[in-house]
A and B are shown apart, each in its own frame.
Chain A
């Protein structure tokens, strides 16, 4: 028989443990990369607040992340080659390995079992077990020229495959892990000079790589047999001298809006609108500066665009029906990234030099909240776990 006092103590203990381990989902969580301090904020998009900070992730300049299928873990790719698995529920590092000397980003396979990292030093792609972070494959990127290459634009594509571009060699490779850890690699060579980034359309069918060394984009239809690289938007600069580029555009989070794709034009104050069936240019949109990110609201109705230094205090909002800029506003010093909530009711914006993240109503543009963050760059929400190429 339990004494009355004992029962009270027992109940109190139960309450305390319930507080410490309250059940919750992760579908409304995300991370904010604090690039200079090597830390992450774990954020809750429902309460528009930071839940905590995870430190000790190394050099996070140009950091990005992908999420586990259960949306509990973020895999963070650091510049210094660090690969860190972060537990969003406990706000802590679950596992961390230094997998290379200098890295740029990564992807997670469609089955959630493989995490691939794109490396600058020593180049190539390394692939890890998503549970343990043990290395399962190493694919050096030796181009047709016989030299090792930096890799960029690494994304997952359906069929336990990864697609990426070889920056120095000018190639696109598709690594197929459907038969196990020994990937079958398809090499598309001589695709163009200096592919700087690449991405796949949200349906997983079309891989596109932007070229820096010439005016053009390379298209690979992943449903094609055999796979072929086709040049599109050739000579879109029409021979005009491009402007100096103070920040590379990104094709991450690009804008697939209805039947069009909006792509940053390198060295120009323009977005190129491309028809998603013919892959021909249908229009150009004059913008405030050189676009860095062009991110479509999840419903595809509008695209938010930020810009390269020194015009990086402004956001343009493009109407995807009329292809006009319908809103232009100063969002603060050094706007680095924008992320929509999963169904697009709000936009989170990192304002690096103001050390804060702003939350906007995506329809009215009202600023609804601000969250303190140290030199914030990438904002990534767990809903990315459900999307191809993110």
Chain B
């Protein structure tokens, strides 16, 4: 939680407004449809920090925004801004949102 708040602070100073409570809920409930409520995976891959070490923040934000063609991972660009995607990527890599 402290990590999430710290990250939220950083994202907020970066520009566009980010609503941490809304994004946390979105990741748990809606990403959780495929990745599991605790993000340990399901039809989609696990999103726990130890499984994301090979990707940096911008790569993860890119996957979130544009999806993975040929798989069920959809592009979230119609629903999320770039700063929101970066906030989610940071929080996942920090082991938050679970």
B72 engages A62 (CB within 8 Å): no
State in angstroms the CA–CA spacing of A79 and B42 once bound together. Answer: 8
B36's contact among A102, A196, A244, A246, by CB below 8 Å, is which? A102
Instruction: Give the contacts of B46-94 with A (CB-CB under 8 A).
Output: 67, 70, 72, 74-76, 78-79
Main secondary structure of the interface of A (DSSP, over half): loop
Decide: A61 near B41, CB < 8 A? Known: A245-B72, A245-B74, A246-B74.
no
A196 engages B41 (CB within 8 Å): no
B40's contact among A102, A150, A152, A213, by CB below 8 Å, is which? A102
How near does chain A come to B61, taking the closest CB pair, in angstroms? Answer: 16
Instruction: Give the contacts of A291-350 with B (CB-CB under 8 A).
Output: 309-310, 334
How near does chain B come to A373, taking the closest CB pair, in angstroms? Answer: 15
Q: CB-CB contacts of A226-268 with B at 8 A, as 1s and 0s?
A: 0000000000000000001111100000000000000000000
CB contacts (< 8 Å) of A62 on chain B: these are: 33, 36, 42
**A80 on the B face (CB < 8 A):** yes
Decide: A334 near B36, CB < 8 A? Known: A79-B42, A167-B43.
no
Residue of B70, B72, B78 with highest tally of chain A CB at under 10 A? B72
CB contacts (< 8 Å) of A164 on chain B: these are: none
How near does chain B come to A196, taking the closest CB pair, in angstroms? Answer: 7
CB contacts (< 8 Å) of B33 on chain A: these are: 61-62, 246-248, 309
A248 engages B72 (CB within 8 Å): yes
A59 engages B74 (CB within 8 Å): no
**B7 on the A face (CB < 8 A):** no
Residue of B29, B32, B41 with highest tally of chain A CB at under 10 A? B29
Interface CB pairs A-B, < 8 A, 14: A59-B40, A61-B33, A61-B42, A102-B40, A102-B42, A120-B42, A167-B43, A213-B70, A244-B67, A246-B74, A246-B76, A247-B33, A248-B34, A334-B29
